[in-house]
Amino acid sequence: MDHLKELLKQGATLVDVRKPEEFAAGHAPVAVNIPLDTLDEELLKWNKEHTFIIVCHTGTRSRIACKVLLNAGFTAVYDGGIWENFK
């Protein structure tokens, strides 16, 4: 987990893929909310070489989101698991 926190310090983006109401109920201060069901639309706006750390509530949606990003050609994608790891 420390290596992911170091990546954040170096400019990685922490992406929380939970639903907006889940995000509103609590999230890591530096996270941006891109719900998993809108991820495909958002991909077009992102630099595929930027570093992304993906989180959610239990780790399931973050794993799925990482696969989606990697399959779309993103090169630096990390599964951060649960968002509470980044409080």
Model confidence band, residue 38 (pLDDT cutoffs 50, 70, 90): very high
Question: What does pTM read for this prediction?
Answer: 0.94
49 pLDDT above the threshold of 80: yes
- Residue 76 burial (10 A CB sphere; 0-12, 13-18, 19+): middle
pLDDT in tens, 73-87: 999 999 999 999 998
What is the CATH code for 2-86?
A: 3.40.250.10
Instruction: For the chain, give the number of residues.
Output: 87
Q: Which is the catalytic residue, given 14, 56, 66, 69?
A: 56
pLDDT in tens, 15-37: 999 999 999 999 999 999 999 99
CB–CB of 22/35 below 8 Å?
Answer: no
Active site residue 66: no
1 pLDDT above the threshold of 80: no
